[in-house]
A and B are shown apart, each in its own frame.
Chain A
Amino acid sequence: MNSSDTTSAELALDRPSYLHDGYGWKSWLLTKDHKRIAILYLISITVFFAIGGIFAMLIRLELLTPEGDLVQAATYNRLFTMHGVIMVFLFLVPSIPATLGNFLVPLMIGAKDLAFPRINLISWYIYVLAGIFILWALIHGGVDTGWTFYTPFSTHYSNGYVVSTALGVFIAGFSSILTGLNFVVTIHRMRAPGMTWFRLPLFIWSHYATSLIMILGTPVIAVTLMMVAVERALNLGLFDPRLGGDPILFQHLFWFYSHPAVYIMVLPGMGVISELIAAFTRKRVFGYTVVAFSSMGIAVLGFLVWGHHLFVTGESVYAATVFSLLSMLVAVPSAIKVFNWTATLYEGSVSYETPMLYALGFIGLFTIGGLTGVMIATLGIDLHLHDTYFIIAHFHYVMVGGTIMAYMGGLHYWWPKMTGKLYPVFASRLSALLIFVGFNLTFFPQFILGYLGMPRRYWEYPPEFQVWNVLSTAGASVLGVGYLLPLCYFLYSLFYGKQAGANPWGAKGLEWATTSPPPTFNFDYPVVVDEEAYEYAPDARAVARQEAHSA
């Protein structure tokens, strides 16, 4: 990048954008600008996404044949463990909040930065430290416990680097907690005059709900993994039945965080989708208030369903019944969102830009992910499907088909704002298509495999399952190309992309009211908000009232 890239708007205003406000390593590594920190996160989570993705490809290649022939069993176990640990804790949890959220929360509410800029920078350093711990464990031989660290395997039988990986996850948790804290305070205290709670974009509502889960849930996983580390080092007997401990206790503690963590991963995605649907129909999201409160409902109910991960452990039947019922209830707010997004298209002005293609893909895949979720929340069915590939397919439909589709859609939507550049239209639409097709080809066969009974985490499998595994591996290759393509054209756009201008999509929202890329303190003028969110057309009832008044 050089100074000739600065937009004409900036030249007119005679001040640099955040990208040009200082050069060199120090200006980035010691920055307190939420937008630069978002870019730091973007680069680091992309690195971890690539590592986790390579592991996924190796897993799929191993499963091409029923025999364990590409890698050894011990290696395979390390591959799926590191794939899970890296993708969950170093990619999915921070993905949307730490990049898009960091960039957009202050812009969308009309603030010049987050409430605690230094803490924001520290949270990135903590994240990097966590990544180093986990990479250290990986380079020294990895971990073979699965990302779930189930005891007593993890405490007494695994010979992998359990403690350093657990410490890495422990540390990464503090990064989440600090980000969540920063968002909550910012959303409460830094909204521009006139930006009332019910004028907030739905992206902000979903980040607010996510932040609450981060603050309340993450300490539990920290304590739990500490217990594993201490048990491994000192053999206290917390999870060891020979000393009176209970291995199932670990699962309760683990899922008390890790189920709400699913909502940490998917709620921000839902926020992104609400923004995209509004922008590309040029219409207020149908039932704004209901969508906002459904995020809060998911955040609260999400804490009460962890026991559905324990249906086959020998958990009390009464507990299982209650958890099954609550798991069904938490699906209702998600269903409401899907219907509301679909209804928003009605009488909208629908355009087929790349971000919108991702958003529509999200709705389809998330619907399947959600419906299969209520299937496995049904007690009688879960006895069959628990711990099979059906579960793998289900949560990849939610996490990849949901969260990553939303993340990609969000990146394509706000990329012009973040960089000031437009990316190639055809290539980007092609990537959306490849990812949608590749994703379904990868994971749909896994539903069938799961119903046939193929257990998860199997290095070898009975030969009659091979056909579906071959299809799945073929799909993964398409998906891989789909993810590489955006990397190429986003980098290309930085150097050769056309200038985006302040508002290339003709969208509403404060972030589109400032220049692209924005100045360091976001706005060149004092922000005052005097309209509702997504007010593309005046409210019909308000117009009617006005007409009635003047008549």
Chain B
Amino acid sequence: MRSLPFFPEEATAAAREVDLMFGAWLGISLFFTALIAVLIVVFMVRFRRRHPDEVGKSEEMGPWLEIIWSAVPLFIMLAMFFWGARLFFVQHQAPPGAVEYWATGKQWMWKFEHPNGAREINHLHLPLGQTVKLTMTSEDVIHSFGVPAFRLKQDVNPGAYTRVWFQPNRVGTYHLFCDQYCGAEHSRMVGSIVVMSAEDYAAWLAGGPVGGQSPVAVGAQLFQSLACYTCHEMGPGWMARGPSLQGVYGHQVPLAGGSSVLADEAYLRESILLPAAKVVKGWQPIMPTYQGQVSEEQLIDLIAYLKSLGSAPAMGTGAVNPPGTSSPMEGGPAGSMPASPSAPPAGGPRSK
């Protein structure tokens, strides 16, 4: 018989904080459960019925008791609420400098892509101490990326990107579960997160399943092979039929109709798959849909490429803007980062 497990391993600092918070709740709960249980037992014995016709005393004790036992739980809950919400906000926003990894869920496997393009199925190797930002999407139904050792969970939705970040602080192999029921083999959509020392990770990358090219490089090739460049080319002398994509990521884009939208991953994705949904001001809705022509992984690569363009300053070339519109590219390169430190410099192969 194995030893009885009570608590899962802690492999991040956040996991320690969740355990502390849970421990606090556990203490509070034990106190109140014991209080109720002891009171019930004491009252049952002390006030047991002594003859069949006995009735209870009916005394009104005034509202102060009820005020106390409404207010005390309320204050405890408010305190725990603030603590929990604070951690949730921290968990929600990746710290600057986090290295971006990608994950795609499908029935019933996890596909991961490292910043250098290495790809893995169901297992994700990570270097110890690195802050990892994982951007995830699904090819079919809703899955959920859950790692008990990190005390983290995030649904992985089709048609959208969700993000999770963590900083493993212990070498080891940890369970990865799909936590959202996703069909027949849901319980086999499991894998592992392998946290290695930085040297071991480097060695693993060198000798492991090297995918060859980084997402940015693959995306740049797709930008050519899907002929995106024929309309969105940034070079001078071209008659652009669509807006330039230089530095678009992370900036507000004015839309036809007067509103504007933040060009994040979700917007870039939507514009590739459903181009007519939000058309940039001053352009015709002539772009065809790429729905069904690009896989989720290719979309990830394309978006990684478009994000990498953010580091190049927007060129005020005449070809970028159709007649009669001002430059939509205000603000320049600020706020955008390369997809990862190990990614090659921005700007894939140009056609000329």
A interface residues (Cβ-Cβ under 8 A, vs B): 68, 73-74, 77, 144, 146, 150, 152-153, 156-158, 241-242, 244, 246-248, 281-284, 286-287, 290, 311-314, 317, 320-321, 324-325, 328-329, 331-332, 335-336, 338-340, 342-343, 345-352, 360, 363-364, 367-368, 371-372, 374-375, 377-384, 386-388, 448, 451-453, 455-468, 506, 535-541
Contacts and interface: CB of A to CB of B under 8 A. Distances in A.
Interface in B33-61: 33, 36-37, 39-40, 43-44, 47-50, 52-61
13 contacts: A73-B184, A150-B141, A241-B157, A282-B55, A312-B144, A348-B43, A351-B48, A371-B32, A375-B29, A452-B6, A467-B4, A536-B58, A539-B60
A294 to B, nearest CB: 9
B159 A350 contact: no
B55 A536 contact: yes
Interface in B141-200: 141-142, 144, 146, 148-149, 151-155, 157-160, 162, 175, 177-188, 190
- Which 3 pairs of residues, A with B, have the shortest CB-CB distance? A241-B159, A453-B148, A283-B56
Contacts of A352: 44, 48
A157 B179 contact: no
A153 B142 contact: yes
Contact of A153 (B92, B155, B182): B182
A73 B185 CA distance: 7
A393 to B, nearest CB: 13
Interface of B: 1-2, 4-8, 17-18, 21-22, 25, 28-29, 32-33, 36-37, 39-40, 43-44, 47-50, 52-61, 63, 65-66, 69-70, 73-74, 77-78, 80-81, 83-89, 91-92, 107, 140-142, 144, 146, 148-149, 151-155, 157-160, 162, 175, 177-188, 190, 273-274, 277, 291
Contacts of B65: 343
B69 A346 contact: no
A347 B52 contact: no
A348 B53 CA distance: 12
A64 to B, nearest CB: 15
Contact of B179 (A329, A379, A386): A386
B57 A540 contact: yes
Nearest to B291: A242
Contact of A68 (B73, B159, B187): B187
A371 B29 contact: yes
Given A314-B155, A371-B29, A383-B18, A152 B36 contact: no
The residue among B40, B44, B153, B190 with the most chain A CB atoms within 10 A of its own CB is B153
A361 to B, nearest CB: 10
Nearest to B30: A371
A247 B178 CA distance: 18
B87 A461 contact: no
Contact of A347 (B25, B47, B144, B160): B47
B52 A380 contact: no
Contacts of B59: 347, 540
B157 A248 contact: yes
A152 B88 contact: no
A512 B101 CA distance: 69
Contacts of B36: 338-339, 342, 363-364, 367
Given A150-B142, A347-B59, A380-B21, 10 more contacts: A150-B181, A152-B142, A329-B74, A339-B69, A371-B28, A375-B25, A378-B84, A451-B22, A453-B177, A466-B2
A255 B254 CA distance: 36
A283 B57 contact: yes
Contacts of A329: 74, 77
A452 B8 contact: yes
A379 B187 CA distance: 26
A347 B60 CA distance: 12
A378 B183 contact: no
A287 B62 CA distance: 9
A313 B74 contact: no
Contact of B88 (A68, A383, A387): A383
Contact of B148 (A360, A363, A384, A466): A384
B83 to A, nearest CB: 7
A314 B49 contact: no
A378 B40 contact: no
A332 B71 CA distance: 9
A347 B155 CA distance: 52
A383 B152 contact: yes
B247 to A, nearest CB: 26
Nearest to B182: A153
B13 to A, nearest CB: 13
Given A283-B57, A349-B55, A467-B2, A314 B141 contact: no
Given A244-B274, A451-B7, A459 B29 contact: no
A527 to B, nearest CB: 23
Contact of A324 (B81, B175, B178, B277): B81
A345 B183 contact: no
B81 A378 contact: yes
A374 B77 contact: yes
Given A380-B91, A388-B179, A77 B18 contact: no
Contacts of A459: 186-187
Contacts of B2: 463-464, 466-467
B54 A282 contact: yes
A350 B47 contact: yes
A384 B185 CA distance: 22
A506 B53 contact: yes
Contacts of A332: 70, 73-74, 77
Contact of B56 (A68, A157, A281): A281
Contacts of B151: 383-384
Contacts of A386: 144, 153, 179
Contacts of A313: 142, 155, 157
A465 to B, nearest CB: 8
Contacts of B146: 387-388, 453, 455
Given A451-B22, A453-B148, A537 B84 contact: no
A314 B160 contact: yes
A345 B33 contact: no
Contact of B33 (A349, A364, A383, A538): A364
B154 to A, nearest CB: 6
A383 B152 CA distance: 5
Contacts of B181: 77, 146, 150, 153, 456-457
Contacts of A328: 74, 77-78, 80-81
Given A152-B141, A314-B160, A375-B25, A144 B85 contact: no
B14 to A, nearest CB: 8
Nearest to B58: A537
Contacts of A541: 60
Contacts of B144: 312, 386-387
A321 B86 CA distance: 10
B43 A324 contact: no
Nearest to A310: B155
A374 B146 CA distance: 21
A451 B8 contact: yes
A197 B160 CA distance: 52
Contacts of B86: 380
